Structure 1
Protein backbone atom coordinates (compact mmCIF):
# COMPACT_ATOMS: atom_id res chain seq x y z
CA UNK A 1 0.00 0.00 0.00
CA UNK A 2 1.33 3.45 -0.92
CA UNK A 3 2.49 5.78 1.83
CA UNK A 4 -0.22 8.37 2.45
CA UNK A 5 0.90 11.97 2.99
CA UNK A 6 -1.14 15.02 3.96
CA UNK A 7 0.36 18.12 2.31
CA UNK A 8 -0.61 21.52 3.71
CA UNK A 9 0.75 24.43 1.66
CA UNK A 10 -1.18 27.63 0.89
CA UNK A 11 0.86 28.51 -2.22
CA UNK A 12 -1.21 26.67 -4.81
CA UNK A 13 1.54 26.46 -7.44
CA UNK A 14 4.07 25.06 -4.95
CA UNK A 15 1.39 22.76 -3.55
CA UNK A 16 0.77 21.33 -7.02
CA UNK A 17 4.52 21.04 -7.70
CA UNK A 18 5.05 19.02 -4.52
CA UNK A 19 2.00 16.88 -5.22
CA UNK A 20 3.17 16.03 -8.75
CA UNK A 21 6.70 15.23 -7.60
CA UNK A 22 5.68 13.03 -4.68
CA UNK A 23 3.00 11.19 -6.65
CA UNK A 24 5.60 10.39 -9.30
CA UNK A 25 7.69 8.89 -6.49
CA UNK A 26 4.82 6.58 -5.57
CA UNK A 27 3.23 8.41 -2.62
CA UNK A 28 -0.49 8.97 -2.18
CA UNK A 29 -0.98 12.70 -1.59
CA UNK A 30 -3.96 14.53 -0.08
CA UNK A 31 -3.64 18.31 -0.37
CA UNK A 32 -4.96 21.24 1.64
CA UNK A 33 -4.49 24.98 1.18
CA UNK A 34 -5.47 26.03 4.70
CA UNK A 35 -5.25 24.51 8.21
CA UNK A 36 -9.00 24.07 8.65
CA UNK A 37 -9.24 21.92 5.53
CA UNK A 38 -6.19 19.95 6.66
CA UNK A 39 -7.77 19.33 10.06
CA UNK A 40 -10.93 18.05 8.41
CA UNK A 41 -8.87 15.62 6.35
CA UNK A 42 -7.19 14.24 9.49
CA UNK A 43 -10.66 13.33 10.79
CA UNK A 44 -11.45 11.40 7.63
CA UNK A 45 -8.16 9.57 6.99
CA UNK A 46 -5.11 8.24 8.75
CA UNK A 47 -1.81 9.44 7.32
CA UNK A 48 1.74 8.14 7.43
CA UNK A 49 3.25 11.63 7.28
CA UNK A 50 2.32 15.31 7.46
CA UNK A 51 4.09 17.98 5.37
CA UNK A 52 3.03 21.34 6.82
CA UNK A 53 3.83 24.89 5.79
CA UNK A 54 4.13 27.29 8.75
CA UNK A 55 2.84 30.63 7.47
CA UNK A 56 -0.80 29.93 6.65
CA UNK A 57 -4.16 31.72 6.58
CA UNK A 58 -6.26 31.66 9.77
CA UNK A 59 -3.59 30.03 11.97
CA UNK A 60 -0.02 28.85 11.52
CA UNK A 61 1.24 25.31 11.11
CA UNK A 62 2.64 25.26 14.65
CA UNK A 63 -0.80 25.83 16.12
CA UNK A 64 -2.33 23.13 13.94
CA UNK A 65 0.26 20.54 14.92
CA UNK A 66 -0.13 21.46 18.59
CA UNK A 67 -3.86 20.68 18.32
CA UNK A 68 -3.12 17.35 16.66
CA UNK A 69 -0.49 16.35 19.22
CA UNK A 70 -2.82 17.34 22.10
CA UNK A 71 -5.46 15.03 20.66
CA UNK A 72 -2.96 12.14 20.63
CA UNK A 73 -2.08 12.27 16.92
CA UNK A 74 1.57 11.16 16.68
CA UNK A 75 1.83 11.21 12.88
CA UNK A 76 5.40 12.14 11.87
CA UNK A 77 5.58 15.74 10.68
CA UNK A 78 7.97 17.81 8.59
CA UNK A 79 7.60 21.59 8.53
CA UNK A 80 8.36 23.37 5.24
CA UNK A 81 8.92 27.06 5.92
CA UNK A 82 10.62 30.26 4.85
CA UNK A 83 11.32 31.11 8.49
CA UNK A 84 14.99 30.82 9.35
CA UNK A 85 15.24 32.20 12.90
CA UNK A 86 16.22 29.94 15.78
CA UNK A 87 13.08 30.73 17.79
CA UNK A 88 10.89 29.38 14.98
CA UNK A 89 13.05 26.28 14.72
CA UNK A 90 12.72 25.75 18.46
CA UNK A 91 8.96 26.34 18.37
CA UNK A 92 8.58 23.83 15.56
CA UNK A 93 10.27 21.05 17.51
CA UNK A 94 8.46 21.99 20.73
CA UNK A 95 5.09 21.53 19.06
CA UNK A 96 6.09 17.99 18.11
CA UNK A 97 7.69 18.28 14.67
CA UNK A 98 10.10 15.54 13.60
CA UNK A 99 11.97 17.56 10.99
CA UNK A 100 12.17 21.09 9.61
CA UNK A 101 13.14 22.21 6.08
CA UNK A 102 13.74 25.79 5.01
CA UNK A 103 12.45 27.08 1.69
CA UNK A 104 13.37 26.99 -1.13
CA UNK A 105 12.95 23.22 -0.83
CA UNK A 106 15.31 20.88 -2.64
CA UNK A 107 12.97 18.13 -3.79
CA UNK A 108 15.61 15.41 -3.75
CA UNK A 109 16.55 16.34 -0.19
CA UNK A 110 12.87 16.30 0.79
CA UNK A 111 12.59 12.79 -0.58
CA UNK A 112 15.60 11.66 1.47
CA UNK A 113 14.20 13.21 4.64
CA UNK A 114 10.81 11.61 4.11
CA UNK A 115 12.46 8.23 3.64
CA UNK A 116 14.60 8.60 6.76
CA UNK A 117 11.64 9.68 8.88
CA UNK A 118 9.40 6.86 7.71
CA UNK A 119 12.13 4.29 8.37
CA UNK A 120 12.39 5.26 12.01
CA UNK A 121 8.65 5.70 12.56
CA UNK A 122 7.29 3.75 15.51
CA UNK A 123 3.69 2.80 14.91
CA UNK A 124 3.06 0.76 18.04
CA UNK A 125 1.69 2.48 21.11
CA UNK A 126 3.76 0.17 23.32
CA UNK A 127 7.27 -1.10 22.64
CA UNK A 128 8.81 -4.05 24.46
CA UNK A 129 12.46 -3.65 25.43
CA UNK A 130 13.56 -6.86 27.13
CA UNK A 131 11.69 -7.04 30.44
CA UNK A 132 10.55 -3.45 30.05
CA UNK A 133 7.58 -1.95 28.22
CA UNK A 134 7.60 1.64 26.99
CA UNK A 135 4.23 3.33 26.50
CA UNK A 136 4.98 5.79 23.70
CA UNK A 137 1.77 7.78 24.20
CA UNK A 138 1.47 7.92 27.99
CA UNK A 139 5.27 8.39 28.23
CA UNK A 140 5.63 5.73 30.93
CA UNK A 141 8.18 2.94 31.37
CA UNK A 142 7.01 -0.33 32.95
CA UNK A 143 8.84 -3.31 34.39
CA UNK A 144 6.54 -6.36 34.44
CA UNK A 145 3.49 -4.02 34.22
CA UNK A 146 4.69 -1.92 37.17
CA UNK A 147 5.33 1.76 36.30
CA UNK A 148 8.83 2.98 37.12
CA UNK A 149 9.58 6.31 38.72
CA UNK A 150 11.40 8.16 35.98
CA UNK A 151 11.35 11.90 35.37
CA UNK A 152 9.19 13.04 32.47
CA UNK A 153 12.16 14.33 30.51
CA UNK A 154 13.99 11.01 30.92
CA UNK A 155 11.02 9.12 29.45
CA UNK A 156 10.62 11.64 26.64
CA UNK A 157 14.30 11.17 25.86
CA UNK A 158 13.83 7.39 25.81
CA UNK A 159 10.91 7.75 23.40
CA UNK A 160 13.00 9.96 21.12
CA UNK A 161 15.91 7.50 21.11
CA UNK A 162 13.69 4.46 20.51
CA UNK A 163 11.94 6.29 17.64
CA UNK A 164 15.31 6.92 16.01
CA UNK A 165 15.79 3.16 15.46
CA UNK A 166 19.56 3.19 15.57
CA UNK A 167 20.15 6.57 13.95
CA UNK A 168 22.19 9.18 15.84
CA UNK A 169 20.04 11.86 17.48
CA UNK A 170 21.95 15.11 17.88
CA UNK A 171 22.16 16.83 21.26
CA UNK A 172 20.63 19.92 19.67
CA UNK A 173 17.53 18.05 18.51
CA UNK A 174 17.17 16.40 21.92
CA UNK A 175 17.36 19.74 23.74
CA UNK A 176 14.88 21.33 21.32
CA UNK A 177 12.42 18.49 21.93
CA UNK A 178 12.79 18.23 25.72
CA UNK A 179 13.10 21.83 26.86
CA UNK A 180 10.68 24.68 26.27
CA UNK A 181 11.81 28.03 24.91
CA UNK A 182 13.52 30.06 27.61
CA UNK A 183 14.49 27.02 29.65
CA UNK A 184 18.18 26.37 30.16
CA UNK A 185 19.19 23.18 28.38
CA UNK A 186 22.83 22.43 29.05
CA UNK A 187 24.81 19.37 28.03
CA UNK A 188 25.20 18.64 31.73
CA UNK A 189 21.43 18.55 32.20
CA UNK A 190 21.12 16.22 29.23
CA UNK A 191 23.74 13.87 30.68
CA UNK A 192 21.68 13.63 33.89
CA UNK A 193 18.79 12.10 31.93
CA UNK A 194 21.11 9.87 29.92
CA UNK A 195 22.51 8.57 33.23
CA UNK A 196 18.99 7.86 34.51
CA UNK A 197 18.22 5.77 31.43
CA UNK A 198 21.52 3.88 31.58
CA UNK A 199 20.52 2.52 34.99
CA UNK A 200 17.85 0.51 33.17
CA UNK A 201 19.55 0.11 29.78
CA UNK A 202 23.32 0.14 30.45
CA UNK A 203 24.28 -1.24 27.03
CA UNK A 204 21.60 0.39 24.90
CA UNK A 205 22.70 4.02 24.66
CA UNK A 206 25.86 4.96 22.80
CA UNK A 207 27.45 8.38 23.18
CA UNK A 208 28.53 9.61 19.75
CA UNK A 209 31.18 12.11 20.79
CA UNK A 210 30.53 15.66 19.72
CA UNK A 211 27.22 14.82 18.04
CA UNK A 212 24.65 13.16 20.29
CA UNK A 213 23.34 9.72 21.25
CA UNK A 214 22.31 6.52 19.56
CA UNK A 215 19.91 3.72 20.62
CA UNK A 216 21.60 0.40 19.81
CA UNK A 217 19.16 -2.24 21.10
Structure 2
Protein backbone atom coordinates (compact mmCIF):
# COMPACT_ATOMS: atom_id res chain seq x y z
CA UNK A 1 0.00 0.00 0.00
CA UNK A 2 1.28 3.48 -0.87
CA UNK A 3 0.29 6.39 1.32
CA UNK A 4 -0.76 9.69 -0.35
CA UNK A 5 1.84 12.03 1.11
CA UNK A 6 5.39 12.71 0.13
CA UNK A 7 8.60 12.05 1.99
CA UNK A 8 9.66 15.64 1.44
CA UNK A 9 6.40 16.98 2.91
CA UNK A 10 6.63 14.78 6.00
CA UNK A 11 10.18 15.78 6.86
CA UNK A 12 9.70 19.45 6.03
CA UNK A 13 6.54 19.46 8.14
CA UNK A 14 8.46 17.91 11.00
CA UNK A 15 11.10 20.62 10.77
CA UNK A 16 8.51 23.37 10.70
CA UNK A 17 6.81 22.02 13.82
CA UNK A 18 10.17 22.00 15.59
CA UNK A 19 11.03 25.49 14.39
CA UNK A 20 14.11 24.29 12.50
CA UNK A 21 15.18 24.47 8.89
CA UNK A 22 15.55 21.11 7.16
CA UNK A 23 16.79 20.77 3.62
CA UNK A 24 15.36 18.06 1.40
CA UNK A 25 17.53 14.93 1.56
CA UNK A 26 19.79 14.14 -1.37
CA UNK A 27 20.72 10.52 -1.95
CA UNK A 28 20.72 7.83 -4.60
CA UNK A 29 16.92 7.58 -4.29
CA UNK A 30 16.40 11.37 -4.47
CA UNK A 31 13.64 10.80 -7.03
CA UNK A 32 11.54 9.45 -4.14
CA UNK A 33 11.45 12.83 -2.40
CA UNK A 34 8.17 13.79 -4.05
CA UNK A 35 6.63 10.32 -3.80
CA UNK A 36 4.84 8.47 -1.00
CA UNK A 37 6.61 6.28 1.51
CA UNK A 38 6.39 2.61 0.71
CA UNK A 39 5.73 1.37 4.27
CA UNK A 40 5.46 4.18 6.80
CA UNK A 41 2.34 6.21 7.44
CA UNK A 42 2.68 9.96 7.95
CA UNK A 43 2.39 9.61 11.74
CA UNK A 44 4.93 6.78 11.80
CA UNK A 45 7.36 8.71 9.61
CA UNK A 46 7.27 11.82 11.79
CA UNK A 47 7.62 9.81 15.00
CA UNK A 48 10.44 7.71 13.59
CA UNK A 49 12.27 10.81 12.35
CA UNK A 50 12.27 12.34 15.84
CA UNK A 51 13.29 9.04 17.42
CA UNK A 52 16.19 8.61 15.01
CA UNK A 53 17.22 12.26 15.50
CA UNK A 54 17.32 11.62 19.24
CA UNK A 55 19.87 8.89 18.54
CA UNK A 56 21.87 10.93 16.01
CA UNK A 57 21.10 14.64 16.49
CA UNK A 58 22.42 17.38 14.24
CA UNK A 59 25.75 18.96 15.19
CA UNK A 60 28.54 19.66 12.73
CA UNK A 61 26.92 16.96 10.62
CA UNK A 62 23.29 16.33 9.63
CA UNK A 63 20.88 14.55 11.95
CA UNK A 64 19.66 11.05 11.14
CA UNK A 65 16.51 12.23 9.36
CA UNK A 66 18.45 14.89 7.43
CA UNK A 67 20.78 12.15 6.23
CA UNK A 68 17.89 10.09 4.84
CA UNK A 69 17.69 7.47 7.60
CA UNK A 70 13.87 7.48 7.51
CA UNK A 71 14.01 6.72 3.79
CA UNK A 72 16.48 3.92 4.44
CA UNK A 73 14.28 2.32 7.10
CA UNK A 74 11.16 2.69 4.96
CA UNK A 75 12.85 0.88 2.07
CA UNK A 76 14.18 -1.84 4.37
CA UNK A 77 10.71 -2.52 5.76
CA UNK A 78 9.23 -3.25 2.32
CA UNK A 79 12.27 -5.26 1.25
CA UNK A 80 13.36 -8.81 2.08
CA UNK A 81 14.69 -7.79 5.49
CA UNK A 82 11.47 -6.21 6.69
CA UNK A 83 9.45 -9.16 5.41
CA UNK A 84 11.61 -11.59 7.38
CA UNK A 85 13.34 -13.39 4.54
CA UNK A 86 15.92 -15.65 6.09
CA UNK A 87 14.18 -15.72 9.47
CA UNK A 88 12.45 -18.83 10.78
CA UNK A 89 9.04 -17.53 11.90
CA UNK A 90 7.04 -20.68 12.65
CA UNK A 91 7.80 -20.92 16.37
CA UNK A 92 7.75 -22.00 19.06
CA UNK A 93 8.91 -18.63 20.38
CA UNK A 94 10.78 -18.55 23.66
CA UNK A 95 12.68 -15.83 25.46
CA UNK A 96 16.21 -16.15 24.16
CA UNK A 97 19.57 -14.71 25.06
CA UNK A 98 21.24 -11.96 23.01
CA UNK A 99 23.72 -14.54 21.73
CA UNK A 100 20.85 -16.51 20.15
CA UNK A 101 19.87 -13.70 17.82
CA UNK A 102 16.39 -12.64 16.77
CA UNK A 103 13.77 -14.56 18.77
CA UNK A 104 10.54 -12.55 18.37
CA UNK A 105 7.31 -13.76 16.72
CA UNK A 106 7.17 -10.39 14.89
CA UNK A 107 8.69 -9.70 11.49
CA UNK A 108 11.11 -6.75 11.60
CA UNK A 109 8.48 -4.61 9.85
CA UNK A 110 5.88 -5.68 12.39
CA UNK A 111 8.25 -4.86 15.25
CA UNK A 112 8.83 -1.35 13.91
CA UNK A 113 5.13 -0.71 13.41
CA UNK A 114 4.13 -2.14 16.80
CA UNK A 115 6.94 -0.28 18.57
CA UNK A 116 6.02 3.08 17.06
CA UNK A 117 2.37 2.55 17.97
CA UNK A 118 3.36 1.55 21.50
CA UNK A 119 5.59 4.61 21.86
CA UNK A 120 2.79 6.91 20.76
CA UNK A 121 0.42 5.32 23.27
CA UNK A 122 2.91 5.37 26.14
CA UNK A 123 4.33 8.83 25.49
CA UNK A 124 1.80 10.84 23.51
CA UNK A 125 3.43 13.89 21.98
CA UNK A 126 6.92 12.36 21.95
CA UNK A 127 7.72 14.14 18.69
CA UNK A 128 7.12 17.56 20.28
CA UNK A 129 8.92 16.97 23.58
CA UNK A 130 12.10 18.75 24.60
CA UNK A 131 15.34 16.88 23.98
CA UNK A 132 16.08 16.02 27.66
CA UNK A 133 12.70 14.32 28.08
CA UNK A 134 13.12 12.42 24.80
CA UNK A 135 16.54 11.26 25.99
CA UNK A 136 14.97 9.90 29.19
CA UNK A 137 12.32 7.99 27.24
CA UNK A 138 14.82 6.52 24.78
CA UNK A 139 17.09 5.48 27.67
CA UNK A 140 14.16 3.73 29.35
CA UNK A 141 13.39 1.88 26.12
CA UNK A 142 17.01 0.82 25.73
CA UNK A 143 16.91 -0.70 29.22
CA UNK A 144 13.63 -2.53 28.63
CA UNK A 145 11.77 -0.40 31.16
CA UNK A 146 8.85 0.76 28.97
CA UNK A 147 5.60 -0.97 28.13
CA UNK A 148 5.14 -0.75 24.36
CA UNK A 149 2.46 -3.40 24.15
CA UNK A 150 3.26 -6.14 21.64
CA UNK A 151 6.78 -4.79 21.04
CA UNK A 152 9.37 -5.43 23.78
CA UNK A 153 10.90 -2.01 24.32
CA UNK A 154 14.53 -3.14 24.35
CA UNK A 155 14.07 -5.20 21.18
CA UNK A 156 12.37 -2.23 19.51
CA UNK A 157 15.14 0.14 20.62
CA UNK A 158 17.85 -2.26 19.44
CA UNK A 159 16.16 -2.56 16.04
CA UNK A 160 15.80 1.20 15.58
CA UNK A 161 19.35 1.81 16.81
CA UNK A 162 20.75 -0.76 14.38
CA UNK A 163 18.75 0.56 11.43
CA UNK A 164 19.63 4.17 12.26
CA UNK A 165 23.33 3.37 12.25
CA UNK A 166 23.01 1.37 9.05
CA UNK A 167 21.06 4.15 7.34
CA UNK A 168 23.53 6.81 8.42
CA UNK A 169 26.69 4.95 7.39
CA UNK A 170 25.64 2.57 4.58
CA UNK A 171 26.31 3.35 0.94
CA UNK A 172 23.83 6.02 -0.26
CA UNK A 173 22.47 3.59 -2.85
CA UNK A 174 20.36 2.10 -0.03
CA UNK A 175 18.52 5.35 0.62
CA UNK A 176 20.39 6.89 3.56
CA UNK A 177 23.76 8.59 4.13
CA UNK A 178 22.55 11.58 2.11
CA UNK A 179 25.39 13.59 0.61
CA UNK A 180 27.74 11.09 2.28
CA UNK A 181 27.05 12.63 5.70
CA UNK A 182 28.11 9.53 7.63
CA UNK A 183 31.23 8.95 5.58
CA UNK A 184 32.31 12.57 5.90
CA UNK A 185 31.86 12.28 9.68
CA UNK A 186 34.28 9.34 9.98
CA UNK A 187 36.56 10.24 7.08
CA UNK A 188 35.69 7.21 4.96
CA UNK A 189 36.52 7.81 1.27
CA UNK A 190 33.90 5.45 -0.09
CA UNK A 191 33.41 1.99 -1.48
CA UNK A 192 34.25 2.51 -5.13
CA UNK A 193 37.13 0.86 -6.95
CA UNK A 194 38.87 3.90 -8.42
CA UNK A 195 41.95 3.94 -6.17
CA UNK A 196 44.43 2.47 -8.65
CA UNK A 197 46.74 5.49 -8.58
CA UNK A 198 46.87 5.41 -4.77
CA UNK A 199 47.19 1.72 -3.90
CA UNK A 200 50.96 1.98 -3.33
CA UNK A 201 50.91 5.32 -1.50
CA UNK A 202 50.76 4.32 2.14
CA UNK A 203 50.19 6.51 5.19
CA UNK A 204 48.57 9.23 3.14
CA UNK A 205 45.05 10.58 3.38
CA UNK A 206 43.00 9.91 0.26
CA UNK A 207 42.48 13.41 -1.16
CA UNK A 208 39.14 12.89 -2.93
CA UNK A 209 35.62 13.34 -1.50
CA UNK A 210 33.58 10.21 -0.65
CA UNK A 211 32.10 8.28 -3.54
CA UNK A 212 29.61 5.43 -3.35
CA UNK A 213 28.83 2.35 -5.39
CA UNK A 214 26.62 4.39 -7.73
CA UNK A 215 29.33 6.95 -8.43
CA UNK A 216 30.25 7.45 -12.08
CA UNK A 217 33.97 8.00 -12.62
CA UNK A 218 35.05 11.10 -14.50
CA UNK A 219 33.28 13.70 -12.38
CA UNK A 220 29.74 12.97 -13.59
CA UNK A 221 28.30 12.52 -10.12
CA UNK A 222 26.09 9.62 -9.07
CA UNK A 223 24.42 7.46 -11.66
CA UNK A 224 20.59 7.40 -11.63
CA UNK A 225 19.26 4.89 -9.15
CA UNK A 226 17.69 1.73 -10.51
CA UNK A 227 13.89 1.63 -10.26
CA UNK A 228 12.61 0.07 -7.05
CA UNK A 229 10.75 -3.16 -7.58
CA UNK A 230 7.35 -2.93 -5.92
CA UNK A 231 5.40 -5.81 -4.49
CA UNK A 232 2.34 -6.78 -6.59
TM-score by length of 1: 0.29
TM-score by length of 2: 0.27
Higher relative contact order (CA 8 A, sep 6+): 2
Kindly name which structure, 1 or 2, has the bigger radius of gyration based on alpha carbons.
Answer: 2
